[in-house]
């Protein structure tokens, strides 16, 4: 088997794993099932990834890298206004998000959220966004974004259509864009809240001091 065939088989295995891990969870998808779906032998799967854990790590890395690349194309590459681009990448983005959400719900990849935070911090460093506590800023932002996927069933009921379809998910994303594009607090209210929370945090810290 040539090197190009090896690359093709590796990609097929990875894609099959992402689909089955999303549907069944890490524990519910066996190496045999993944190999069968990818059209390869279990031995070839182990040759490329070593074990199911190694395959899962590769899937984590690929899903995050793929979503980061799409985000760069959308925001830095000026693709937000390109309807054909949005339509073409939407299914792939949904698959990656579904995989990452299932992995976190299963708890099979405990470091996944930390990896997402690290990726978010790298992204934030390329923007003009500012925060007194950048770690908390990114962590809350990631949690809010993932919450839209974790609550897919509840959103579907409220919206009257499956939030996992292109139409339903587009409504969710449009609402998110509207939320992020306009402040929910006035500048004065935000400053008052920051001051009050600063005093509260300092007060709690003072109570902890012997």
pLDDT value of residue 114:
85
CA distance 138 to 116: 9
* CATH superfamily ID and name for 3-150: Tetracycline Repressor, domain 2 (1.10.357.10)
CA distance 166 to 157: 16
pTM of the model: 0.70
Q: Mind listing the pLDDT tens digit for each residue in 106-158? A: 776 667 788 888 888 988 888 888 898 999 999 999 888 888 888 888 999 99
Confidence of residue 1 (pLDDT cuts 50, 70, 90): very low
Residue with tokens 């008052």: 192
* Segment 180-203 mean pLDDT: 89
Tens digit of each residue's pLDDT (9 = 90 or more) over 32-79 = 999 999 999 999 999 999 999 999 989 988 988 888 887 777 666 565
Average pLDDT of 165-171?
85
From residue 110, give the alpha-carbon distance in Å to each of 26, 81, 177: 12, 36, 29
Domain ranges of the chain: 3-150
């Amino acid at each position: 088997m040539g090197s190009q065939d090896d690359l093709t088989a590796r990609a097929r295995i990875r894609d099959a794993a992402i689909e089955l891990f999303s549907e069944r969870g890490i524990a519910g998808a066996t190496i045999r099932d993944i190999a069968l779906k990818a059209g390869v032998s279990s031995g070839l799967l182990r040759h490329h990834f070593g074990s199911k854990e190694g395959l899962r790590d590769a899937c984590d890395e690929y899903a995050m890298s793929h979503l980061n690349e799409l985000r760069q194309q959308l925001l830095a590459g000026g693709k937000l206004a390109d309807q054909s681009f949005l339509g073409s990448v939407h299914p792939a983005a949904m698959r990656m998000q579904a995989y990452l959400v299932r992995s976190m719900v299963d708890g099979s990849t405990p470091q996944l959220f930390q990896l997402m935070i690290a990726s978010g911090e790298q992204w934030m460093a390329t923007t003009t966004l500012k925060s007194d506590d950048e770690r908390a800023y990114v962590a809350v932002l990631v949690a809010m974004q993932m919450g839209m996927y974790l609550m897919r069933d509840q959103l579907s009921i409220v919206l009257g259509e499956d939030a996992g379809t292109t139409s339903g998910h587009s409504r969710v994303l449009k609402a998110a864009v509207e939320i992020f594009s306009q402040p929910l607090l006035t500048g004065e209210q935000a400053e008052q809240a920051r001051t009050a929370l600063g005093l509260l945090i300092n007060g709690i810290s003072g109570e902890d001091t012997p």
